[in-house]
């Protein structure tokens, strides 16, 4: 599922409404960020809770002992948190014993901090008879550049979590409003800090064992949320591309690739046509979209998406190109995935 994040000094109810409308299900929020403005929280929180209820957005607060103080709730009064409307809790720090986790999991969906959970912890939890049914694992995001997780380390952790049947959540940056105070993006994986959040989200789901993707920053563009949710729900990858006028009909349909997969090109399943004259036969860069012309015989009309550079070929016409920020999506396409082109 798709989630967004809310920080009270950047809170925008219009953004919440739009995100809910396109399919967001979670709102992550933290009540122990030192730089956050918690003034008048007692006035803001009831409005926030009621708005989320009306939009069917499930709030996931990052809970630590400080959280109770911010909410004017007695320490460890989880019943009061339930009364306030919280159905899920992300346990950050200060929750080390399995008895507390077992008790909380009876009343809340629990999201444990993935950064402090390893295989030894999970074995001990099993031995302590912790029921994993209502528990998942949420990775941290990393505000400072060069501090996010390495991809291989991240994937290995998730592999272990999956062996225990646990769902995994992770963060990608926003592409609209970065969060204070560093404004450097809030990804889980460091390489995603400089990547379009949609591309990062697809990689998390396709290659990294992630079930739910959350925007770490204060805002993402609504179209970005829409693209992520469409991939989560329908396995449709949306690709921004430009086509020559003659081929703009390609915006109108969804496509798939052939099952016999090439490591260099993606071959779209489309009807082949004859009589295509050679033109625009120059050097083909990665991300180019091409169609074979009549010089190639029975392959005439085959459309390809290029995963690497190719020298010029008189038999191949260049008919379009993929937006540079979206080219890496080519690495995550397979015959099971539908492709939708949209205008740049």
Domains and CATH numbers, the chain: 2-234 (3.20.20.70), 239-343 (2.40.100.10)
**Looking at the predicted structure, is the pLDDT value of residue 261 above 90?**
no
**Looking at the predicted structure, is the pLDDT value of residue 34 above 80?**
no
Length of the chain as a residue count = 344
pLDDT the model gives residue 94: 63
What backbone phi and psi angles, to 5 degrees, belong to 106? -75, -25
Q: What percent of the chain has pLDDT over 90?
A: 84
293-304 confidence digits (pLDDT tens) = 999 999 999 999
The residue among 68 and 139 whose pLDDT is bigger is 139
143-153 confidence digits (pLDDT tens) = 999 999 999 99
Cα–Cα distance measured from residue 197 to residue 205, given in angstroms and rounded to the nearest whole number? 12
Cα–Cα distance measured from residue 45 to residue 51, given in angstroms and rounded to the nearest whole number? 10
**Looking at the predicted structure, is the pLDDT value of residue 237 above 90?**
yes
The dihedral sign for the CA sequence 60, 66, 69, 75: positive
pLDDT the model gives residue 335: 93
What backbone phi and psi angles, to 5 degrees, belong to 241? -150, 160
Residues 6 or more apart whose CB falls under 8 angstroms from that of 104 comprise 78, 89, 91, 110
Strand order in the sheet with 254-255: 254-255, 338-343, 236-243, 316-322, 288-292, 303-306, 265-267
- Overall pTM > 0.85: yes
Cα–Cα distance measured from residue 22 to residue 17, given in angstroms and rounded to the nearest whole number? 9
> By C-alpha distance, which of 241, 212, 208 is closest to 229?
212
**Looking at the predicted structure, is the pLDDT value of residue 123 above 80?**
yes
Cα–Cα distance measured from residue 31 to residue 38, given in angstroms and rounded to the nearest whole number? 8
Cα–Cα distance measured from residue 85 to residue 58, given in angstroms and rounded to the nearest whole number? 9
Instruction: Measure CA 120 to chain center.
Output: 28
Instruction: Measure CA 271 to chain center.
Output: 33
């Amino acid at each position: 599922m798709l989630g967004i994040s809310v920080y009270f000094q950047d809170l925008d109810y219009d953004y919440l409404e739009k995100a809910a409308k396109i399919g967001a299900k979670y709102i992550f929020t933290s009540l122990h960020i030192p730089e956050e403005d918690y003034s008048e929280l007692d006035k803001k929180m009831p409005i926030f809770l009621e708005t989320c209820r009306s939009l069917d957005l499930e709030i996931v607060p990052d809970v630590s002992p400080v959280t109770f103080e911010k909410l004017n709730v007695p320490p460890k009064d989880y019943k009061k948190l339930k009364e306030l409307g919280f159905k899920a809790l992300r346990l950050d720090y200060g929750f080390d014993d399995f008895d507390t986790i077992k008790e909380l999991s009876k009343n809340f969906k629990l999201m444990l901090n993935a950064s402090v959970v390893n295989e030894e912890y999970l074995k001990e939890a099993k031995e302590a008879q912790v029921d994993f049914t209502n528990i998942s694992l949420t990775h941290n995001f990393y505000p400072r550049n060069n501090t996010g997780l390495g991809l291989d380390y991240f994937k290995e952790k998730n592999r272990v979590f999956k062996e225990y049947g646990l769902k995994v959540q992770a963060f990608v940056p926003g592409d609209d409003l970065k969060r204070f105070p560093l404004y450097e993006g809030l990804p889980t994986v460091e390489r995603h800090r400089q990547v379009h959040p949609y591309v990062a989200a697809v990689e998390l789901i396709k290659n990294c064992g992630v079930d739910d993707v959350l925007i770490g920053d204060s805002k993402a563009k609504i179209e970005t949320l829409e693209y992520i949710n469409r991939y989560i729900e329908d396995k449709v990858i949306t690709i921004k591309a430009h086509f020559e006028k003659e081929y703009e009909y390609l915006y109108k349909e969804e496509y798939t690739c052939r099952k016999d997969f090439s490591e260099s090109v993606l071959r779209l399943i489309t009807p082949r046509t004859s009589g295509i004259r050679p033109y625009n036969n120059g050097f083909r860069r990665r991300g180019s979209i091409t169609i074979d012309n009549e010089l190639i015989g029975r392959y005439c009309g085959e459309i390809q998406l290029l995963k690497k550079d190719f020298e010029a070929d008189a038999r191949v016409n260049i008919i379009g190109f993929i937006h540079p920020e979206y080219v890496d999506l080519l690495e995550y396409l397979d015959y099971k995935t539908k492709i939708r082109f949209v205008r740049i």
